[in-house]
């Protein structure tokens, strides 16, 4: 059986093969920081958001306005956030994270997630669906934080958002303005995982940046590069050379360990 390579490891390998070597072969771990903790909390909230959304939608028994639907989703986020904050209380305190500020940030950050759901629910309500039938007839339907593992491909990943309608489209959500090769590789890897799971062709992905959505064509060539990079990582035995530019090293948490190799 192939060694399962995480899609994030492929992105790390593209960014700095030496850092991935330190983590994969050297067993080094990055110390937690505030950004990592906030990212973990966001992912935990989105995970529970996806798991509880069906209950919220199925509870709608009559026609309601968009504003009410939006409030239902925002309340879901608030309730989930309270639970996640409680679970991560020690880390939140140790990094002096303000819960009110974090909740306000998360509600702003998740507005696009909420809007997409509100539009789908509104459209299905207009067709006369309610309760369980409403949930079953959402088109398109969005799934957040879907984890997929493929023994056949030797890959695993957690996809930010998946649109399921006439076609299946993976989304990668980034808080930045520029597209990098790693983003395209990530989306190509997610396309491979979705193709393996649902047995359909995935031809495009959406890279959502702070500047808007970017449609990325996911070709067979790009998907092959994912598999080639995964195989390189499986065969990684010796430390790659130091980078030609040390700009990436300036804020690297494993810089000292790297220079000791």
One domain, residues 146 and 261? yes
pTM: 0.91
One domain, residues 118 and 131? yes
Instruction: Tell me the two tokens of residue 143.
Output: 């799934």
Q: Parallel, antiparallel, or unpaired for β 141-150 and 212-217?
A: unpaired
Cα–Cα distance list, 50 to 77, 136, 173, 233 (Å): 10, 15, 16, 31
* Cα 220 off chain centre by: 22
pLDDT above 90 (res 245):
no
One domain, residues 166 and 68? no
Taking only the tens place, the pLDDT of each residue in 178-233 is 999 999 999 999 999 999 999 999 999 999 998 889 999 999 999 999 999 999 99
Q: Parallel, antiparallel, or unpaired for β 155-164 and 168-173?
A: antiparallel
Q: CA 221, 226, 227: angle at the middle one, nearest 5?
A: 95
One domain, residues 259 and 147? yes
Residue pair 144/100 in contact by the 8 Å Cβ criterion:
no
Counted domains in the chain: 2
pLDDT > 90 in the chain, percent = 84
One domain, residues 220 and 260? yes
| Structural domain boundaries, residue 81 | 28-139
One domain, residues 115 and 78? yes
pLDDT above 90 (res 30):
no
Burial of 22 (0-12, 13-18, 19+ CB in 10 A): buried
How far is it, in rounded angstroms, from Cα 108 to Cα 219? 33
* Cα 114 off chain centre by: 16
One domain, residues 17 and 53? no
One domain, residues 65 and 39? yes
- Residue 91 has what pLDDT? 93
Q: What is the DSSP letter of 214?
A: E
């Amino acid at each position: 059986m192939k060694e399962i390579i995480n899609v994030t490891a492929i992105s790390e390998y593209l960014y700095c093969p030496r850092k991935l070597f330190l983590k994969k072969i050297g067993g080094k771990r990055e110390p937690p920081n505030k950004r990592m903790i906030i990212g973990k909390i966001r992912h935990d909230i989105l995970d529970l958001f996806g798991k509880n959304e069906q209950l919220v939608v199925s509870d709608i028994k009559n026609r309601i306005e968009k504003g009410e639907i939006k409030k239902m989703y925002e309340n879901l986020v608030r309730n989930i956030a309270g639970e996640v904050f409680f679970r991560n209380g020690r880390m939140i305190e140790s990094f002096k994270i303000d819960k009110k500020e974090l909740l306000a940030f998360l509600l702003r950050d998740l507005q696009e997630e909420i809007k997409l759901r509100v539009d789908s629910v509104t459209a299905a309500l207009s067709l006369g669906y309610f309760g369980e039938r409403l949930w079953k007839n959402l088109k398109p339907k969005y799934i957040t934080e879907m984890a997929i593992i493929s023994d056949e491909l030797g890959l695993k990943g957690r996809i930010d958002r998946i649109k399921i309608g006439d076609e299946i489209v993976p989304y990668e959500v980034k808080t930045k303005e520029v597209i990098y090769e790693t983003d395209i590789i990530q989306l190509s890897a997610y396309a491979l995982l979705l193709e393996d799971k649902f047995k359909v062709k995935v031809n495009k992905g959406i890279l959502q940046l702070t500047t808007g959505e970017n449609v990325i064509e996911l070709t067979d060539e790009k998907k092959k590069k994912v598999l080639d990079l995964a195989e390189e990582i499986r065969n990684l035995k010796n430390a790659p050379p130091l980078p030609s530019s040390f700009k990436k090293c300036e804020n690297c948490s494993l810089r000292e360990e790297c220079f000791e190799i």
